[in-house]
């Protein structure tokens, strides 16, 4: 204990020194006056709300420029594209920033849904669909990919998706054995273990709760948030244990020099349950949280990068919630973009929400879906 606190003190002292030696930032200190309630809807048509657009770059503000498909020139100040667009003789969607979706909204034929953006150009972590009664919210990454984590719209007020985002980030950095546990809505579970240590976590941000300590993972049962009924004897859940065992075997094969032994990796979700699909003998199957196959959804494994099984999983989620499920899934378990109900055609997107009710039989739904190939201009 004494050693630990000495170490902690040392750590604090070093970080403090480090912080002191940093050059002062070109300063927005003393700026407390940003209008934090400024919204995109407060901007004039064609203008986009971005961070650092007003008061010497210290506050968010609205900024305009040439609109979508207008002629542009990066060297002429009043010929530059508006935020969210990039200049290639004409202003085109800059899909590296969420802000491009704001210009889609201004397109006349655009009827679809577009995601919410943060003023820094990243995607908002929580993206909500449908109405407040039966709609749902999903966790999204900063760059606009759907992540693990969802809740009904009416329950989503405290949903931060911070755990889902943390895990996604760590995995993107190359860590293959992250064991943070997220709740169904993408927040942090109360008890966390990762990288050999355990702690009682703040649900919304994941930091250790004030007044609790971080312990070596062998001591996890001593944590005040440990509950024997709930957590039992093992922090890792069934799927995680299976995945862990597989990785150990793989490692053993690798050290013996056996290569070419391919495993179909056990995929787990961020709550420790089984992932949305598994691969067996060259076939991808949609699976439920317990690892069992859902229906007969399947596709050959070369197609795996396009599989999300969102529709297959939703059939089960809606059934459990007692809500009739009326949409059709593709054979691979994804949502079929073009839906047909008694001859009435409409389009849904990958999350299963209607994006257009005005579609002709020969028309593709892609142009109503913000992240579809239709909008990849290059
Ligand atoms: C432990 O978990 C069980 C099951 O969820 C719950 O019923 C019980 O109230 C918990 N006990 C404590 C002390 O929190």
Query: Per-residue pLDDT tens for 258-278?
Result: 655 556 789 999 999 999 999
In percent, the amount of the chain with pLDDT more than 90 equals 66
CA distance 195 to 224: 20
CA distance 362 to 275: 35
Residue 236, pLDDT above cutoff 90: yes
Mutate which of 225, 230, 231, 232 for ligand 1 pocket (most atoms within 8 A of beta carbon): 230
CA distance 247 to 280: 17
Q: Is 229 in the pocket of ligand 1 (CB under 6 A)?
A: yes
| Buried residues in 125-158 as b, exposed as e (16+ CB within 10 A) | bbbbbbeeeeebbbbbbbebebbbbbbbbeebee
**Structure tokens belonging to residue 251:** 């490692």
CA distance 173 to 25: 27
Out of 131-135, 199-203, 308-312, least confident range: 131-135
Q: Ligand 1 atom closest to Cα of 227? A: 1
CA distance 121 to 100: 9
pTM of the model: 0.85
| Total Cβ atoms within 10 A of residue 291 | 16
Q: Which residues contact 132 (CB under 8 A, 6 or more apart)?
A: 153, 154
Q: Is 261 in the pocket of ligand 1 (CB under 6 A)?
A: no
Strand partners, 208: 201
Residue 165 CA, ligand 1 centroid: distance in Å:
28
CA distance 281 to 268: 19
Residue 362 CA, ligand 1 centroid: distance in Å:
56
CA distance 131 to 138: 14
Q: Is 55 buried (19+), middle (13-18) or exposed (0-12) by CB count in 10 A? A: middle
Residue 190 CA, ligand 1 centroid: distance in Å:
12
Q: Is 224 in the pocket of ligand 1 (CB under 6 A)?
A: no
Q: Residue 378 — pLDDT band, cuts 50, 70, 90?
A: very low
Q: Residue 179 — pLDDT band, cuts 50, 70, 90?
A: very high
Residue 179 CA, ligand 1 centroid: distance in Å:
22
């Amino acid at each position: 204990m004494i050693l630990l606190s000495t170490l902690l003190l040392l750590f604090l002292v070093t970080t403090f020194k480090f912080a002191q030696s940093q050059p002062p930032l070109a300063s927005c200190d003393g700026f407390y006056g940003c209008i934090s309630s400024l919204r995109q809807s407060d901007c004039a048509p064609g203008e986009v709300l971005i961070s650092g657009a007003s008061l010497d770059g210290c506050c968010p503000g609205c900024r305009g420029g040439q609109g979508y498909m207008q002629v542009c020139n990066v060297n002429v100040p009043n010929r530059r594209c508006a935020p969210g667009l990039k200049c290639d003789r004409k202003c085109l969607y800059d899909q590296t920033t969420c802000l491009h979706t704001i210009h889609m909204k201004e397109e006349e034929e655009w009827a679809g849904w577009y995601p919410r953006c943060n003023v820094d150009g990243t995607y908002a972590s929580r993206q909500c669909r449908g109405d407040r009664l039966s709609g749902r919210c999903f966790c999204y990454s900063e760059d606009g990919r759907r992540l693990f984590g969802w809740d009904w719209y009416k329950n989503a007020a405290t949903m931060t998706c911070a755990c889902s985002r943390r895990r996604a980030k760590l995995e993107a950095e190359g860590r293959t054995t992250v064991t943070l546990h997220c709740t169904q809505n993408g927040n942090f579970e109360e008890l966390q273990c990762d990288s050999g240590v355990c702690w009682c976590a703040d649900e919304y941000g994941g930091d250790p709760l004030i007044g609790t300590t971080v312990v070596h993972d062998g001591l996890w049962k001593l944590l005040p948030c440990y509950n024997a009924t709930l957590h039992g004897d093992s922090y890792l859940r069934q799927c995680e244990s299976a995945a862990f065992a597989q990785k150990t075997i793989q490692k053993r094969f690798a050290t013996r020099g056996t290569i070419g032994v391919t495993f179909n990796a056990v995929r787990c979700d961020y709550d420790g349950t089984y992932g949305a699909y598994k691969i067996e003998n060259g076939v991808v199957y949609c699976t439920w949280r317990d690892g069992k196959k859902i229906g007969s959804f399947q596709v050959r494994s070369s197609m795996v990068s396009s599989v999300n099984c969102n529709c297959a999983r939703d059939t089960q989620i809606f059934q459990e919630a007692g809500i009739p499920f009326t949409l059709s899934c593709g054979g691979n378990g994804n949502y079929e973009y073009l839906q047909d109900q008694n001859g009435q055609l409409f389009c849904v997107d990958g999350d299963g929400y209607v994006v257009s009710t005005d579609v002709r039989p020969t028309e593709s739904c892609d142009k109503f879906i913000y992240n579809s190939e239709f909008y990849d201009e290059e």
